[in-house]
Structure 1
Amino acid sequence: MTITATDIARAKARMPEAFRAPLPVRLRRIALWTGFGLLFGYCLWAFNFAPARIVEGIGRLGNVLGFMFPPHVWDNWEDFAEVLNGLGETLAMAFLGTVLGAVFAFPLSFLGAKNINRLSFLRLGVRRGYDVIRAVETLILALIFIRAFGLGPLAGILAIAVSEIGTFAKLFSEAIENTSERPVDGVRAAGGSRLQSIRYAILPQVNPVLLSVILYNFESNVRSGTILGIVGAGGIGFLLSDRISAYRWDEAWSIIFLIIAMVYLVDWLSGLIRSRFIGTWNA
């Protein structure tokens, strides 16, 4: 028997409530959408999101962009070498911070994985520790380390490393929890110890995920390393902030272009590494 659109229309006319969500569900939806609309409107009002202000800001932005063109071209090696050194510092900060964060987070991730650590109180305590670390923004950590160790890349490296410990440990532990138990059972059936089951059954499953997470966060840290330089943690961000403060917009745009090129290059190299090693592991 074929049900036509006419039959459905007649059924809706006879029993309209059967084709509608229950009243409590409709009331909840109305309340949620009303609350969302009120919150959105309050944010626009509280932050003075006025059309006149937006138009005025766009005009000023156009003036700033006009100052950036044509971009600055360095005519001597000393000035250009200073910029290249800043790019190198930012890249080194991101690399060392990411590596240090991954090294410390790797063993901690096993303590937070449910299939490895059976002690609930210890596992939950470790996971809350991840949350505490991730709750502190990298920029705030950089300001703290600058006060402790002084200006320079060391503060930026430590800020990235500490921040990445919480992020990596959480993502690593979740990857470990999502592994299949069948390879573990196979290793144990062959007489393998618990450490051997981790080494030969769990790690081969999570290695591609760990590599992918590390490479992605390294790309992200290259970008965030620029921001850390603005607050005094070294790198290209310091030079960019200096050029903007001096209203040398053409040089600022050239530095921004070099940052974009560096991020693109890092992304391209990370893609090559990811495809090569993950392809090998999957094979």
Structure 2
Amino acid sequence: MTPTPKDIDAARARVPLAFRAPLPVRLRRYALWSLFIGLFSWCLYDFNITPQRIWVGLERLGSVLAFMFPPHIWTSWAEFAPILTGLGETLAIAFLGTVLGAVVAFPLSFLGAKNINRLNFLRLGVRRGYDVIRAFETLILALIFIRAFGLGPLAGILAIAVSEIGTFAKLFSEAIENTSEKPVEGVKASGGSRLQQVRFGIMSQVNPVILSILLYNFESNVRSGTILGIVGAGGIGFLLSDRISAYRWDEAWSIIFLIIAMVYLIDWLSAMIRQRLIGKSEQAR
């Protein structure tokens, strides 16, 4: 029987404490909400976030956005060639950085996988190494490598590669740990060596996941490569920063549109590759 609102009101009047949280719980909630509101208000005050400042900023942002249309069109090949070169350089930086990071991370991932490396102290030490590498932002690594190797694409490639070593190694090792033991036991029962168990029992399950991770991170690294160019690590980011610094917003927006188009194209191609290769692998299993 479903209680009516009158029944609920009558029960609430008889036992009011049953319809509300205990006093310690309510006090804890009030304290947490007060702390959250106080911290939020202090941040607004300390960072000088005022309605007037926001309004002035929105007006300036509107002026910048007004340069979006009509977009700038380069009328000569001499003007447009550096833009295409920058886009190609950014793409190459992301590709080489992703590949180099994956090549180094792939063997390291086996040392961090529980079902491969049975030595706890070594496995945990390797995993903490992943965390140390991942603690460095790609932009910080780019600044370090620019200091060491000078301006240019090499610093951007190394920054992405080193950053991806920690990310790839962690994701690859987790993928290896999440594989099923049944294919491994089947290879072992048929007389396969430990290397063959890994090759045919584990890698056949992990390869689609690794490919998906590589494709996704490559897309992300294309965007990261744009930012790295702003600090001098090569690519289209340098040209974009130059146009913004010179207040040539119409050209800057056209470059941004080209970057968006390039990222969209890479995303579309990656989706096709995943569908053709990863989809077939899943159907085969």
Question: What's the TM-score, normalizing by structure 1?
Answer: 0.94
Please show how residues 197-216 of structure 1 align to structure 2 within 5 Å.
197-216=197-216
d(CA) in 2 for partners of 1:30 and 1:177? 43
Which residue number in structure 1 is paired with residue 4 of structure 2? 5
Residues 121 and 24 from structure 1, CA distance in 2 versus in 1: closer, same or farther, beyond 3 angstroms? farther
d(CA) in 1 for partners of 2:179 and 2:221? 27
Contact 2:67–2:253 at 8 Å: present in 1 too? no
- Larger deviation, residues 176-185 vs 70-79: 176-185
Which residue number in structure 2 is paired with residue 122 of structure 1? 122
Which residue number in structure 2 is paired with residue 78 of structure 1? 78
Which residue number in structure 2 is paired with residue 110 of structure 1? 110
The residue type paired with residue 177 of structure 2 is E
Which residue number in structure 1 is paired with residue 251 of structure 2? 251
Please show how residues 1-283 of structure 1 align to structure 2 within 5 Å.
2-6=1-5, 7-283=7-283
Root mean square deviation, CA, Å = 1.6
- Once the two structures are superposed, residues 93-146 of structure 1 have per-residue CA deviations (whole angstroms, 9 ceiling, x without a partner) of 001101111111111111111121111111111111111111111001001111
- Larger deviation, residues 162-171 vs 42-51: 42-51
Report the alpha carbon displacement of residue 66 of structure 1 after superposing the two structures with TM: 2.4
Report the alpha carbon displacement of residue 207 of structure 1 after superposing the two structures with TM: 1.6
d(CA) in 2 for partners of 1:213 and 1:193? 28
- Larger deviation, residues 140-149 vs 191-200: 191-200
Residues 10 and 202 from structure 1, CA distance in 2 versus in 1: closer, same or farther, beyond 3 angstroms? farther
Report the alpha carbon displacement of residue 271 of structure 1 after superposing the two structures with TM: 0.6
Report the alpha carbon displacement of residue 9 of structure 1 after superposing the two structures with TM: 4.5
Report the alpha carbon displacement of residue 68 of structure 1 after superposing the two structures with TM: 4.1
- Once the two structures are superposed, residues 231-252 of structure 1 have per-residue CA deviations (whole angstroms, 9 ceiling, x without a partner) of 0011000000111111111111
d(CA) in 2 for partners of 1:195 and 1:10? 72
Report the alpha carbon displacement of residue 188 of structure 1 after superposing the two structures with TM: 2.0
Contact 2:104–2:165 at 8 Å: present in 1 too? yes
Report the alpha carbon displacement of residue 12 of structure 1 after superposing the two structures with TM: 3.9
Contact 2:227–2:237 at 8 Å: present in 1 too? yes
d(CA) in 1 for partners of 2:21 and 2:180? 40
Contact 2:138–2:159 at 8 Å: present in 1 too? yes
The residue type paired with residue 219 of structure 2 is E
d(CA) in 2 for partners of 1:29 and 1:75? 63
- Once the two structures are superposed, residues 157-214 of structure 1 have per-residue CA deviations (whole angstroms, 9 ceiling, x without a partner) of 0000000001111111111111222222222222222222211121122222211111
d(CA) in 2 for partners of 1:26 and 1:177? 43
Residues 119 and 9 from structure 1, CA distance in 2 versus in 1: closer, same or farther, beyond 3 angstroms? farther
d(CA) in 2 for partners of 1:197 and 1:179? 12
d(CA) in 1 for partners of 2:185 and 2:28? 47
Q: Secondary structure at the match of 1:70?
A: coil
The residue type paired with residue 212 of structure 2 is S
Gaps of 5+ in 1: none
Residues 3 and 64 from structure 1, CA distance in 2 versus in 1: closer, same or farther, beyond 3 angstroms? closer
Residues 178 and 20 from structure 1, CA distance in 2 versus in 1: closer, same or farther, beyond 3 angstroms? farther
Q: Secondary structure at the match of 1:191?
A: coil
d(CA) in 2 for partners of 1:137 and 1:47? 24
- Once the two structures are superposed, residues 34-56 of structure 1 have per-residue CA deviations (whole angstroms, 9 ceiling, x without a partner) of 22222222221221111100000
d(CA) in 1 for partners of 2:199 and 2:19? 55
